[in-house]
Structure 1
Amino acid sequence: MIYFVFLIRTLINKFTTFRANTNRWADAGPPPHGVVPTKGAVHIIASRGYVDFVLHDPIAADILNWTRKTAVPDETFFSTLNHNPSLGVPGSYKGIPETDGDIKPFLARYKNWGERKCHGKRVRGVCVNGARDLPPLKDTQQLFVNKFHQEFHPLAYDCLEELLFNRTRDGHLGLSIFDPTFYTKLGFVKNKVGR
């Protein structure tokens, strides 16, 4: 049993270290509460319980203070809370990171880093969407879109608003039905700490 726990801990360290760029927190000292620091996206989707933990739990405050000494605090703080199930953060991930058979998709946001043509303009490598960048968004499974600039191609933003309005209206009127199957089958949805 002790060997198994050590093996699991080693797997967690290996996989989070492999993708985490540990030099980001090398000078911060040991993390509090025995957590394994991880790196993740700055854009997150959080349950109400997760947000309550972040705002009110002293453990979260300790981890936040520790991450202030790291190179990228925002990419370390939220992911570390999410990938340390021993903390019991509601809605966090209780599986072993990057070992449950599927790589977690970037579900929080749709962002074009260059994998598709950008019809708008690129700012620091990210596409600022124009109206001609919108067609792929109608079928995307991401929940938010990054990036629009209000003063750049405002028609694109207006068209996206209209798409969301039409979807909401059609759902309310029973003209379309949301199918949650894709989301319910995701490993990080199935392997989350309870509310």
Structure 2
Amino acid sequence: MESPWDDNPSSDTTRDTEWTKISSEFTNAGYREGITAGKEAALQEGFDAGFANVGAPLGRELGILRGFASALLSYIPTLSQPGAIDPNVDLEQMLSSARHIASSLSKVRFTDIAPRDLEAEEHAREHLDAEGIDMEQNPDLEEKRTMEGLEDLLSSMTTSGSPSQAGPKRPTIEDVRSLEEQLQTIAHYVQLDIPNDLN
């Protein structure tokens, strides 16, 4: 077998061909590594921005609301002592409302309240279109939707073991704001304040 580095003048053509092939392979490998490094850098930058501007603030706000609702559930029963609260306040109704709020907040998913990232969706749509894949048939998204659908189905099961007739409605950010207002109303009656540094 001839080596491209042989000193035989008759193999100049072979040597040039091999050299061109090796050069091309290194160029392609370098290009692929550059693309990969660029994607990783952009991905990290996008994650950092999304986490700092959307994920962490929304998660923190939801965590504070859930924690405050749980605290109210523990605190309200202690108010049954005479003089602890206005006697006209129905503590059982307040406790029932706090349970409902805590339960509703526990069912909120990040995907329910996070704003849609239209830029990312458009970018994904462009790449999927280039590969001939319909965005609605993206296997990762489809798997996530299937799992969330199963979770919704399980949570909508009634005590009789059959799913409810109407499909479960997912909470929205407006629902969370309404639950926050209800918490503030209860907090006002029991003379507590929800931390106002939610934003």
Shared fold by TM > 0.5? Answer: no
Structure of greater relative contact order (alpha carbons < 8 Å, 6+ residues apart): 2
More helix by share: 2
More strand by share: 1
Q: Compare CA radii of gyration and give the structure with the larger one.
A: 2
TM range (shorter): under 0.3
TM-score w.r.t. length of structure 2: 0.21
TM-score w.r.t. length of structure 1: 0.21
